[in-house]
A and B are shown apart, each in its own frame.
Chain A
């Protein structure tokens, strides 16, 4: 019963963190400079998620040049820049990543 109570409280926190800022009655008006500032949120947050996966090895040291995550990640940046296609980027870098993990690194 205790665990279920904790789970319910945790659910309240995750839901309110997601919903709170969407609530219309909250006295926050986003305009002007705030709109510009927030327009960088998607590239900023998403990069803060992908960069450590690509540039770190096991979260404890900078990547080595032979790390498949790093090589295929850099390739993905190039392909995304050229093609602007999610699926082309996923396919090309995914296959590269798979081959690297299978054949090159032990």
Chain B
């Protein structure tokens, strides 16, 4: 069933995702062990990565559940942290229309920051091999996230805290390595600079919706510059 060409894309997806798969190890272990420390059963602690599959949501909600927060506040927090995904879905909407519904559900379930980062190619998900690539990348990330969480659940008490090892640097650098080469116009550069400034300032002043807020403003800035420079080019044409 898996021919040679498909296998190539399968492998490439897994390899491209590898830096992320390894870099999230400390947070996976942290999520698993924190859930147990805060009184969750092993089943509950494993259902988190298995079904919720979102690092920030898991960490925050474990604390909220342990603190007997209301269901409403837990769900609202989950929604706020997850709201950036709407943007990912919108961006990929046209690209996934060739997929059948099963394939689309799969990609939807696996659509993390990391998979979105690897989906910016114009051809992403456009034909079967590209779907295999996305599935392999997203699926391997799901697999590793689950393994790290389970490791945290069963061995969290004997493992050291690895979150101060600086592996968040690996995530930041991989994003840098994907974003910087994609800057090919003044408009994209503007979007990147605005996003960097706003996200830093909003985090500094502890404002909510940092990701979505900074991103939407940056996208708008990029859009405006793009329209203006197009108009200049058109003007020269006359």
Contacts and interface: CB of A to CB of B under 8 A. Distances in A.
Contacts of B104: 19, 22-24
Contacts of B54: 14
Interface stretch (B1-9, B24-32, B195-203): B195-203
Nearest to B125: A22
Contacts of B223: 33, 36-37, 40
Nearest to B39: A3
A27 B199 CA distance: 31
B199 A22 contact: no
Contacts of B219: 37-38, 40-41, 44
Given A47-B179, A89-B177, A94-B173, A13 B78 contact: yes
B147 interface: no
Interface of B: 16, 19, 40-41, 43-44, 47-48, 51-54, 57, 61, 65, 71, 74-75, 78-79, 82-94, 96-97, 104-105, 107-109, 111, 113, 116-117, 119-120, 166, 168-183, 187-188, 191-192, 194-200, 203-204, 210-211, 214-216, 218-220, 222-223, 226-227
Please classify how large the interface on chain A is, using the bins under 10, 10 to 19, 20 to 34, 35 or more: 35 or more
B220 to A, nearest CB: 7
13 contacts: A3-B40, A13-B78, A17-B85, A19-B89, A21-B93, A38-B219, A40-B219, A41-B90, A45-B87, A45-B88, A45-B113, A79-B177, A80-B179
B76 to A, nearest CB: 9
B89 A18 contact: yes
Interface of A: 3-4, 6-11, 13-15, 17-24, 28, 30, 33, 35-56, 59-62, 68-69, 72-73, 76-77, 79-81, 84-86, 89-90, 93-94, 97-98, 101
Point out which of B57, B108, B216 has the most chain A C-beta atoms below 10 A from its C-beta: B108
A61 B201 CA distance: 10
Chain B at the A interface: SS class:
helix
A90 B174 contact: yes
Given A15-B108, A36-B223, A48 B86 contact: no
| Interface secondary structure of A, over-half rule | helix
Q: Which of B52, B175, B222 has the most CB of A within 10 A?
A: B175
A39 B218 CA distance: 11
Given A43-B188, A43-B222, 12 more contacts: A9-B71, A18-B88, A24-B104, A40-B188, A41-B91, A45-B116, A46-B175, A47-B199, A48-B210, A51-B195, A52-B203, A72-B169
Given A3-B65, A68-B166, A90 B87 contact: no
B180 A73 contact: no
A49 B44 contact: no
